Amino acid sequence: MKHELDLIVFDWDGTLMDSTAHIVHSIQAACRDLGLPTPPRERASHVIGLGLVDAMRHVCPGLPESGYQDMVQAYRHHYLSGDETIELFEGVVEGLAALEDAGYLLAVATGKSRVGLDRVLAATGIGKHFLTTRTVDECQSKPHPEMLLQITDQLGMLPARTLMVGDTTHDLLMARNAGTMAAGVSYGAHPLEDLEDCEPRAIFHSFAELQAWLLSGN
């Protein structure tokens, strides 16, 4: 089947892996450890997808730079203490294999660190499906387009035939800035209405829905 798209780029947290709640709890715990105001869930979840320092700046604006480094260290302590229990969303393992078999090229663009992404790619066993990946360690934080532009350039793909899939407005705005298409998933960090405001090509309520749409030739 002839597809409208060649390359599908996935966000990680909240899109492929069901990690939103754990990230939120880890941000809140880090703030408590440092005697900072504990952000409500909505504020903590809004920063998911950004690089860690940028995320902490949004959570607690006005701190000295050393304060954000302390927040990052505290966050990592709490996140790593429970990350082995986090699972991929239902249908991701089978869905990625099916998309690859259908001829799509697959990649990842994430706000995770390189060490963090490599760890979960190995632990989940799905790293074999991705031709390339980009993290905030190599590129500017979302919604800057650098991650997507580097991926499309490396793989020789046209942005117009590339789809960015993510659960946050950061992902969808990055796609807009890079000139790619965008699709949202409603089961992650950002509310459905916020995703709709970014006017993505489509919004899906499960990975199976996304997979079916892509395999239909979109």
Average pLDDT in the 159-166 region?
A: 97
Share of the chain above pLDDT 90, in %: 85
For the chain, give me the number of helices (H) and strands (E)? Answer: 10, 6
Active site residue 18: no
- Catalytic entry in 13, 54, 83, 167: 13
Q: Which pLDDT belongs to residue 84?
A: 73
Active site residue 118: no
Can the peptide bond before residue 143 be classed as cis, meaning omega within 30 degrees of 0? yes
Cα dist from 176 to 25, 56, 132, 172, 183, whole Å:
30, 24, 21, 6, 11
User: What confidence category does residue 82 fall into, taking pLDDT thresholds of 50, 70 and 90?
Assistant: confident
pLDDT digits (tens, 9 = 90+) for 38-74: 999 999 999 988 888 999 999 999 999 899 999 999 9
pLDDT exceeds cutoff 70 at 160: yes
Share of the chain above pLDDT 70, in %: 99
Least confident among 64-73, 167-176, 201-210: 64-73
- Catalytic entry in 6, 11, 194, 197: 11
Q: Which pLDDT belongs to residue 79?
A: 87
